[in-house]
Structure 1
Amino acid sequence: MTRIYISQRPPHLLDLDAGIATAKAEIEAAAAQGADLVVFPETWLGGYPAWVFGLAGWNDPEARHWFQKLVAASATVPGPHVQALCDAARDNGVCVVIGLNERARPSAALLYNSALTIDADGSIVSVHRKLTPTHTERLVWTPGDADGLRVNETAAGRVGAMVCWEHFHPIIRQALHAEDEQIHVALWPDMPSAHQLASRHYAFEGRCFVASAATYLPVEAVPPDLRAAYEKGTGGDASFPGGSGVIGPDGEYLVGPVFGDAPVICDLDLAQTIAFKHDLDVTGHYSRSDILHWGVDRPGTRYGEQGRSDYRSK
């Protein structure tokens, strides 16, 4: 059995050092619970910039102010902050998938919405950059490349990750289904019914387990000076309620959705990903690859080598 632990500890908005400290504590707590894989939600490290939905005008000094803060709170891969996470994964013998604001290089203002996968030996196995930032997210994040759009062999199993509304894109889903994914990590900022639906559909379609991770962010966890800008984006009380859960390859919840700050812990029998393909296998007997064709272009980074960290260590 493989044990998964989804953290719902509130993120530290725009505070990278505090985020690393909390992530390390959560990794240790998960290991103490016997976890093999520890998951954090979308852009948990640095925080989700919800203000972009309300501050989308030209020459907006407030938007520029918060963008500058976000860049300063974004980690490079590799880099000292990410290395601290790698050390924590190695020291506790667990795999980690964490959403982060990724800075292309220390001198750049170029940011990605990324999912970082670290193996239990502390090595970085993947950085998936969200291919298309959604709507006004494009004010802060750059479109990603397909280099990280892969399923990775880890100590916890064959693990893939996608970010938010990528789950509504059929070809992006198929790219991971085709690589025999056992555990899919779905990173979300929150968990309305549409996100639950997408997570459940992914599990059913791919015949895999889905760790659906959403942020728990109470109002008091939003820095006072950021709260007004955050509310312009959320349209409410500047909070996210959580709602993480684990879904089986039949599309049904095994645990959750859990709202609040409690972690989600679930044991997975990975052999079930084979059993459920008896009746539906979208890359096997149900694929019709003789008449249906698709592909992924992985030529390298879209913005040149200077914009792509050389993170691969194995």
Structure 2
Amino acid sequence: MDNRNVKVAVVQSAPVLFDKQSSLQQIEKWTKEAAEQGAGLVVFPEVFVSGYPRGLHFGTRVGSRSEAGRIDWSRYWESAIEIPGKDTEHIGRIAKEAGVYLVIGVVEKERSSTTLYNSIVYIGPDGQVSGKHRKLVPTGAERLLWGQGDGSTLAVIDTPFGRIGGLICWENYMPLARAAMYAKGIDIFITPTADARDTWQSTIRHIACEGRCFVVSSNQYVTKSFYPPDLACYSDIADDDDVLCAGGSAIVGPLGSYVAEPLYGREGLIIAELDMSEIIRSRFDFDVVGHYSRPDVFQLIVNEHRRDNVILDN
């Protein structure tokens, strides 16, 4: 019998947009609170560091970009982090002090280019980066902000309680991406998102049923008060409703039922203990990469090599 239970905490909150220090302070605050309640795994929303810029146009129209938009994008770039880097070392100290696994959505940059990525970073209770994942396809206007990830970051992390990994928001609608994650033996499927609609709840329940795994979904609760009023393009959201994202964070069990119901309309912490033995029991009649697969009919080839534009042959 599998008794590797774990208590999971899902954070539904948001930092001040474009403010890295606000993000790090929020990570420390929520992680401490989750650890005090016995959590061993703490999950934060999509691009929690340093915020999802919902509603901002960045001065972009087809065929033109504005100087104000460039200024705001530069501010967004400055609030991004490197993986690994001094900011992940800071987060690592938070994880180590709390004795938890941290899974955090971040805006990632690297020294060799100015392109940003929508990423998940995994940090273990030893304080070290265990892995990362870059969003494969930014959705819609997100492509103005973030580049595409590649197959080298389809990370699944071994832990004492099972294998954890995930996909970000709408890349969970990519059947082949999900299949690649299932093939890695994922037990806890983490889905940081910015989608607060009812259809997202259908998505995470479907993934749980399909993968026979736990699904942990974390979204931000965001109001206009989280936006710096001195943004060059603040007028983009001036006439929007005060609540920009209502949340909907939830935890779903491997047969598609809620372990923790969706939280809407406020910041908060969702905590639930996961009985990992449920995964084995749930796969008795459906194992998507086992007896319910047909490799004689269907096969998937996954390219997990890093995609480099320039290869220096030394």
Q: Confirm or deny a common fold (TM above 0.5).
A: yes
Structure 2: which 5+ runs fail to align? none
Q: Does the 8 Å CA contact 1:231/1:238 hold for their aligned counterparts? A: no
Q: Out of 255, 265, 269, which is 2:275 matched to?
A: 269
User: Normalising to structure 1: TM-score of the pair?
Assistant: 0.91
Read off the aligned partner of 2:108 and give its amino acid letter.
Answer: E
Task: Give SS of 1:263's match.
Answer: strand
Q: Tell me the CA shift for residue 239 of structure 1.
A: 1.8
Mean Cα deviation higher: 18-27 or 168-177: 18-27
Instruction: Classify the secondary structure of the residue corresponding to 1:14.
Output: coil
Structure 2 residue 195 is matched with structure 1 residue 190: yes
TM-score by length of 2: 0.91
- 2:22 match: 18
Q: Give CA deviations for 1:278-314 in whole Å, capped at 9, x if unaligned.
A: 11111000001122100210121344589xxxxxxxx
Query: What is the match of residue 121 of structure 1?
Result: 126
Unaligned runs of 5+ in 1: 307-314
Instruction: Quote the residue 2:39 is aligned against.
Output: 35
Match of 1:219 in 2: 224
Q: Once the 2 structures are TM-superposed, how far is the Cα of residue 195 of structure 1 from its aligned partner?
A: 1.4
How far apart, CA to CA, are the structure 1 residues paired with 2:196 and 2:159?
A: 27
Q: 2:78 aligns with which of 62, 72, 90?
A: 72
Once the two structures are TM-superposed, the CA of residue 237 in structure 1 deviates from its matched residue by 3.5
What is the 5 A alignment of 1:222-301?
Answer: 222-226=227-231, 228-229=234-235, 231=237, 236-237=241-242, 239-259=244-264, 260-301=266-307
Q: Secondary structure at the match of 1:289?
A: coil
Letter of the 2:29 partner, please give it.
Answer: A
The corresponding residue for 1:86 is 92
What is the alpha-carbon distance in structure 2 between the residues aligned to residue 110 and residue 276 of structure 1? Answer: 42
Q: Are the equivalent residues in 1 in contact too, given 2:59–2:70 (CA < 8 A)?
A: no
Query: Could you tell me which residue of structure 1 aligns to residue 215 of structure 2?
Result: 210
Q: Secondary structure at the match of 2:215?
A: strand
> Residue deviations 1:164-207, cap 9 Å, x none?
11110000000111111111110101321121111111111000
Partner letter of residue 65 of structure 1?
A: I
CA 1:230 to 1:183, structure 2 compared with 1: closer, same or farther past 3 Å? Answer: farther
Q: CA contact under 8 A between 1:175 and 1:296: conserved in structure 2?
A: yes
Distance change (3 Å), C-alpha of 1:124 and 1:59: same
Contact 1:230 1:238 in 2 (8 A): no
Secondary structure, counterpart of 2:65 in structure 1: coil
Change (3 A) 1:230 1:115: farther
Question: 1:53 Cα shift?
Answer: 5.1
Q: Find the aligned partners of 1:243 and 1:130 in 2 and give their Cα distance.
A: 21
Residue in 2 that maps onto 1:50: 54
Distance verdict in 2 for CA 1:277–1:191, change over 3 Å: same
Contact 2:103 2:123 in 1 (8 A): yes
Larger Rg: 2
Aligned residue for 2:306, secondary structure, equals coil
Q: Secondary structure at the residue paired with 1:239?
A: strand
CA distance 1:138–1:52, shift in 2 (3 Å): farther
Deviations 1:186-232 (A, max 9, x none): 01013211211111111110000011111111222222234834527
Instruction: Give the count of matched residue pairs.
Output: 304
Report if aligned partners of 2:58, 2:70 keep a CA contact under 8 Å in 1: no
Q: Answer whether contact 1:280 1:286 (CA < 8 A) is retained.
A: yes
CA RMSD of aligned residues (A): 1.9
Q: Matches of 1:13 and 1:117 in 2, distance apart?
A: 22
Q: Indicate how the Cα distance of structure 1 residues 182 and 230 shifts in structure 2: closer, same or farther if over 3 A, else same.
A: farther
Contact 1:50 1:230 in 2 (8 A): no
